[in-house]
Chain A
């Protein structure tokens, strides 16, 4: 564990990413304390520029709502959707990939064709259709994002399991009479944890982007202030009131970047032999 932290901290970009992430998470957790009022509530005159008035460092939007409050509450929504939809995607992708990789033969063929079916449909289009049919609500958005993001997980896990399946310790587990589910769960999957963690951390970033895009198009949950919705709401006044779209845009950018940096760092730290740039 200490060696892992050491390797992780050797990558400065990853540390920066982690610091940004910790800040975003802290804002999300402290949101009700920092801005106890609903972010939907108009608090000042509309189109107030940043720093024009004390207490409104990011100004107000078209309806006089505090952009900073929206940003902090939006962090909760973005992170929640990013993490939960990734878990949904892992819950679909990991078992499918493990079964396909371990069984091989026609089961593998069938499951992989099924995976490819999802991969050939543009994921954003599918997400839009799903949210539109299921009503834009938190649950349906999470489900839609999860459903369009699992195929890469399934492919990754299948590949890992395929190579682990022929390891001698797995063969040994067969010969000592362990049942197949037990072999998959106790012998194989624990050894695929590292790449799953890495792809998971990167997927949280993609999920946040997807959610933002959906909200931007007005397909977000109408009860939740999200970054994507804020960018979308301010886009008509981009020229005269740039800050309404700009700050949530920066928040999305920084969070996704931080997740990617931290994910890369995790990758290097978890697979020391494959890491790039080391001599």
Chain B
């Protein structure tokens, strides 16, 4: 077969009336040849997932195809009925989803879920189905496949679940694998493994891959060709080397420029600055009591020690489960540490009771991860920002005047004050979150994955804002992140955590240039795209 596996011609998907734009995607034309990987890149809301879903006939009912056709192996997907679509799903195209937690049935053994795929298409005998399921799981690189095939999804890690999903998607040897942000929910090292797995399977079976992602690093890692989507319009398409090396469209250039470089900027000279915050020998163990069997213990923080100078940013990096967020929350005393001391200015806040702690809380503030959950949906922006000062006895009217100034400081207009959070985008909400933290004029800011939920271009803006504010106000920042690119750009020093312990600590530039610990080396090696963006983003 020489023709393309998938060819999308002039596809336009109409959104329901009253949406913010009339079409989810407009006049999209794409082709994927056998064995080719096409990456569709775009920021959130660009319509990239809609394309993937339309190929599988999985569009939400509100979205209707208005024009164009999707030819998958010579059949027009948009004209197929339910039975035709069912036959096509799995056989012609397999799909992997973003959330490995929810894309498997929690009450079925994983091998049975693969057997289901065969059963749905009436293929093979019972014995044969089982044998094939096991072979697929083995090929997908599931460790100890004999045993894990009989496991339930909750017994597997995120990466293992994604391997099961891949085995399932490839069960009927489809010509096309659709991957919708398959590694976004995974740690970098796991992500690197999954990307390698997809790459290997593609080579071995000659499967074409339609890969949807927002991450330019991942694109640089696996794409043969790249299609860039901006607000539903295809703005650029071409070979990976061309698009990444010499982007033509300004939007692509902007996207690439926003990817933070792994090379840290020149360090600030902070030797003379006073220490404003320090933590020593912090311990926290989560215990899960169980009626039967032994108590399960997870060590989230073990002997954590660091200190933060005025104007300095320390990054705590690590994968999920490394305890980095626990440390951040212990510093805020949102979680009670079991041992260790936390000293804020001259006060040891770790020993204080709830009431005694309250007056000191204003000096250490936090910016949260989720721009949607961090603002009370029933309060106006003004109320959200002024609640803090009001809690310390500032009259509401006075606090409102200050809130207007703060909104201007974080790059929002002052009339945002009477509006509600749902009227703002993710990046704008994160600005409000920062304004809320700054309203109390803190000495220390704890940012817990503060830019992880944002698109790269917005991420770059928020990072710049945080740096700018730090310079102006001399804040000390504790920046908790899993993203080494972000850490490289914003942190003066880096603390690498693994399983509750600090495995390496030092100046960012030194750690990146010459990692001493194996784990740090592993993390750095797994950053998608590696050094691909060094020239593309001459920041700092």
C-alpha gap A78/B368 in the complex (Å): 50
A171 touches B334 (CB 8 A): yes
Give the one of A173, A177, A191 with max B CB within 10 A.
A177
B369 touches A177 (CB 8 A): no
Give the one of A176, A179, A187 with max B CB within 10 A.
A176
Closest B residue by C-beta to A187: B376
Residues in B neighbouring A177, C-beta threshold 8 A? 358-359, 361-362, 388, 391-392, 440
Closest B residue by C-beta to A193: B378
Residues in B neighbouring A279, C-beta threshold 8 A? 61
Which A residues, 188 to 203, have Cβ-Cβ distances below 8 Å to chain B?
190-191
A175 touches B378 (CB 8 A): no
- Does B431 lie at the interface of the complex (its beta carbon under 8 Å from any beta carbon of A)? no
- Does B351 lie at the interface of the complex (its beta carbon under 8 Å from any beta carbon of A)? no
- Does B332 lie at the interface of the complex (its beta carbon under 8 Å from any beta carbon of A)? yes
B376 touches A175 (CB 8 A): no
CB distance from A51 to the nearest CB of B (A): 52
Q: Give the secondary structure class of B's interface.
A: loop
Cβ contacts A33-58/B at 8 Å (1 or 0 each) = 00000000000000000000000000
Residues in B neighbouring A174, C-beta threshold 8 A? 334, 361
A175 touches B358 (CB 8 A): no
Cβ contacts B356-380/A at 8 Å (1 or 0 each) = 0011011011101110011111110
Residues in B neighbouring A167, C-beta threshold 8 A? 373
B391 touches A175 (CB 8 A): no
Q: Which of B358, B376, B440 contacts A191 (CB 8 A)?
A: B376
Residues in B neighbouring A169, C-beta threshold 8 A? 373-376, 384
Q: Which of A176, A179, A190 contacts B378 (CB 8 A)?
A: A190
Which A residues, 140 to 182, have Cβ-Cβ distances below 8 Å to chain B?
167-169, 171-179, 182
CB distance from A132 to the nearest CB of B (A): 42
Query: Known: A171-B334, A191-B378, A279-B61. Is A176-B373 also a contact (CB below 8 A)?
Result: no
Which B residues, 322 to 368, have Cβ-Cβ distances below 8 Å to chain A?
332, 334, 358-359, 361-362, 364-366, 368
Which B residues, 46 to 79, have Cβ-Cβ distances below 8 Å to chain A?
61
CB distance from A178 to the nearest CB of B (A): 5
Closest B residue by C-beta to A169: B376
CB distance from B451 to the nearest CB of A (A): 15
C-alpha gap A178/B393 in the complex (Å): 11
A175 touches B332 (CB 8 A): yes
- Does B90 lie at the interface of the complex (its beta carbon under 8 Å from any beta carbon of A)? no
CB distance from B363 to the nearest CB of A (A): 10
- Does B436 lie at the interface of the complex (its beta carbon under 8 Å from any beta carbon of A)? yes
C-alpha gap A167/B433 in the complex (Å): 14
Residues in A neighbouring B99, C-beta threshold 8 A? none
Which B residues, 6 to 35, have Cβ-Cβ distances below 8 Å to chain A?
none
CB distance from B138 to the nearest CB of A (A): 40
Query: Known: A172-B433, A172-B436. Is A179-B358 also a contact (CB below 8 A)?
Result: yes
- Does B387 lie at the interface of the complex (its beta carbon under 8 Å from any beta carbon of A)? yes
Closest B residue by C-beta to A176: B388
Q: Which of A168, A171, A178 contacts B391 (CB 8 A)?
A: A178
Query: Known: A174-B334, A176-B387, A178-B387. Is A168-B358 also a contact (CB below 8 A)?
Result: no
A175 touches B392 (CB 8 A): no
C-alpha gap A176/B386 in the complex (Å): 10
B391 touches A172 (CB 8 A): no
B368 touches A176 (CB 8 A): no
Residues in A neighbouring B376, C-beta threshold 8 A? 169, 173, 187, 190-191
C-alpha gap A174/B392 in the complex (Å): 13
A175 touches B366 (CB 8 A): yes
B368 touches A168 (CB 8 A): yes
C-alpha gap A173/B334 in the complex (Å): 11
B436 touches A176 (CB 8 A): yes
C-alpha gap A168/B370 in the complex (Å): 8
C-alpha gap A216/B128 in the complex (Å): 69
Residues in B neighbouring A171, C-beta threshold 8 A? 334, 366, 368
CB distance from A198 to the nearest CB of B (A): 17
C-alpha gap A173/B433 in the complex (Å): 11
C-alpha gap A58/B185 in the complex (Å): 69
Closest A residue by C-beta to B376: A169
Residues in A neighbouring B377, C-beta threshold 8 A? 191
A172 touches B368 (CB 8 A): yes
Q: Which of B364, B384, B391, B436 contacts A182 (CB 8 A)?
A: B391
Cβ contacts B281-308/A at 8 Å (1 or 0 each) = 0000000000000000000000000000
CB distance from A180 to the nearest CB of B (A): 8
Residues in B neighbouring A179, C-beta threshold 8 A? 358, 391
CB distance from A109 to the nearest CB of B (A): 13
C-alpha gap A20/B436 in the complex (Å): 48
Closest B residue by C-beta to A177: B361
CB distance from B384 to the nearest CB of A (A): 8
Give the one of A172, A178, A190 with max B CB within 10 A.
A172
Residues in B neighbouring A176, C-beta threshold 8 A? 361-362, 365, 387-388, 391, 436, 439-440
Query: Known: A177-B359, A178-B387, A182-B391. Is A172-B374 also a contact (CB below 8 A)?
Result: yes
Residues in B neighbouring A187, C-beta threshold 8 A? 376
CB distance from A272 to the nearest CB of B (A): 13
CB distance from B356 to the nearest CB of A (A): 12
Residues in B neighbouring A178, C-beta threshold 8 A? 387-388, 391
Closest B residue by C-beta to A171: B334
C-alpha gap A171/B376 in the complex (Å): 11
B388 touches A168 (CB 8 A): no
CB distance from B369 to the nearest CB of A (A): 7
Residues in B neighbouring A172, C-beta threshold 8 A? 366, 368, 374, 433, 436
C-alpha gap A167/B372 in the complex (Å): 10
C-alpha gap A174/B354 in the complex (Å): 10
B374 touches A168 (CB 8 A): yes
Closest A residue by C-beta to B374: A168
Closest A residue by C-beta to B448: A168
Residues in A neighbouring B391, C-beta threshold 8 A? 176-179, 182
C-alpha gap A186/B376 in the complex (Å): 10
Give the one of A175, A186, A191, A279 with max B CB within 10 A.
A175
C-alpha gap A182/B433 in the complex (Å): 20
B369 touches A175 (CB 8 A): no
Residues in A neighbouring B366, C-beta threshold 8 A? 171-172, 175
Residues in B neighbouring A191, C-beta threshold 8 A? 376-378
Which B residues, 405 to 446, have Cβ-Cβ distances below 8 Å to chain A?
433, 436, 439-440
C-alpha gap A187/B334 in the complex (Å): 17
A168 touches B373 (CB 8 A): yes
Closest A residue by C-beta to B371: A168
CB distance from B477 to the nearest CB of A (A): 15
Q: Which of A168, A173, A186 contacts B369 (CB 8 A)?
A: A168
**Beyond A171-B334, A174-B334, A186-B379: 16 further Cβ-contacts under 8 Å?**
A169-B374, A169-B384, A171-B366, A172-B366, A172-B374, A172-B436, A175-B364, A176-B387, A176-B388, A176-B440, A177-B362, A177-B388, A187-B376, A190-B378, A191-B377, A279-B61
- List, sorted by A's number, 15 A–B pairs whose CB atoms are closer than 8 Å: A167-B373, A168-B370, A169-B373, A171-B366, A172-B368, A172-B433, A175-B365, A176-B365, A176-B387, A176-B391, A177-B361, A177-B388, A177-B391, A177-B440, A191-B376
Task: Report the 5 A-B pairs with minimum CB-CB distance, sorted nearest first.
Answer: A176-B388, A168-B374, A177-B361, A168-B368, A169-B376
